[in-house]
Chain A
Amino acid sequence: QQQVKQSPQSLIVQKGGISIINCAYENTAFDYFPWYQQFPGKGPALLIAIRPDVSEKKEGRFTISFNKSAKQFSLHIMDSQPGDSATYFCAASKGSSNTGKLIFGQGTTLQVKP
C-alpha cells in the first residue's frame, strides 16, 4: 500500500521530442505528488508537484497529468533538451500534514540525444 511504481526504468529521446514517465500508487490517502530531478553526484531537486484536486499542472516545458480514479500520474517533458538528461523520481506523500513522508518511485534515467 505504500509503494509507488515508476516506469520506464530508462528512456532515450531525441532532442526536441517528448519524454513521458509514468507512476502508479496504491494508497488513496496520498495527497501530494512531486517529481524530483537528480543529476549525478547531486541530491534530488523538486521539479514540479501536484495535488489531486487538479488533473494537470504545467510549468514551462514540464507537465504533470494526474488520474485520480486510476491512481496514476505522469511527467511529460516537452521539447526535451540534452540538459534534461538526468534521473527522474516520482514520489507521493500525505502532504496535508507537515510531517508527511515521501515515498519515492524507483527512478527513470532519461537520456536526451542531440
Chain B
Amino acid sequence: EAGVAQSPRYKIIEKRQSVAFWCNPISGHATLYWYQQILGQGPKLLIQFQNNGVVDDSQLPKDRFSAERLKGVDSTLKIQPAKLEDSAVYLCASSFYIAGEGYNEQFFGPGTRLTVL
C-alpha cells in the first residue's frame, strides 16, 4: 500500500512570498489533515477535511493560510504572505475510520520543510 505523498520536500522562500504544498493521501482515506510541526515541538493540527468538507480549521491562521481538497482526494495548503514564524515542517496525514474499533489511526507523509528568510 502506497503511503501519503507530499511535495515538495523542501522549500526556501523570502518573507511575504507565497508558497503551496501538495498532498496525496492513501487511497480510500476519507479524512485528511494538515499539521504544522515547529522544530522541537509536536505536530499541531491546522485543518482537517472529511472528504472535501472542512471538519476543523480552528487553528488555521485564516488571514494567510488557506487549504482545499478538491474531489475529496488531493489537497493543497497555501501560505500567502509567509512570515518568518511560518518556518516549520508541514505534515499531511490521512486516516480511515475503523468501525467498532473506536479510534482513528492517522498515517503521516514525510512532510515539507519550509524555511522563510
Interface residues of A (CB under 8 A from B): 4, 6, 31-32, 34, 36, 41-46, 49, 51, 89, 91, 93, 95-102, 104-107
A101 near B56: Cβ-Cβ < 8 Å: yes
B103 near A104: Cβ-Cβ < 8 Å: no
Stretch at the interface among B13-21, B67-75, B80-88, B104-112: B104-112
A104 near B108: Cβ-Cβ < 8 Å: no
Please, how many residues of chain B have a CB less than 8 angstroms from a CB on the other chain? 27
Q: Which of B75-116 contact A (CB under 8 A)?
A: 91, 93, 95, 97, 102-111
Does more than half of chain A's interface fall in helix, strand or loop, or is it mixed?
loop
Cβ-closest chain A residue relative to B103: A95
CB distance from A36 to the nearest CB of B (A): 8
CB distance from B52 to the nearest CB of A (A): 14
B24 at the interface (CB under 8 A from A): no
B110 near A89: Cβ-Cβ < 8 Å: no
CB distance from A10 to the nearest CB of B (A): 10
A45 near B108: Cβ-Cβ < 8 Å: yes
State which of A4, A44, A100 has its C-beta within 8 Å of the C-beta of B104: A100
Q: Roughly how many angstroms separate A28 CA and B50 CA in the complex, as a whole number?
A: 25
27 contacts between A and B (CB under 8 A): A4-B42, A6-B42, A34-B103, A36-B108, A43-B4, A43-B93, A43-B109, A44-B108, A46-B106, A46-B107, A49-B103, A91-B42, A93-B103, A95-B102, A95-B103, A99-B31, A99-B50, A99-B56, A100-B103, A101-B45, A101-B56, A102-B45, A102-B106, A104-B42, A104-B44, A106-B40, A107-B40
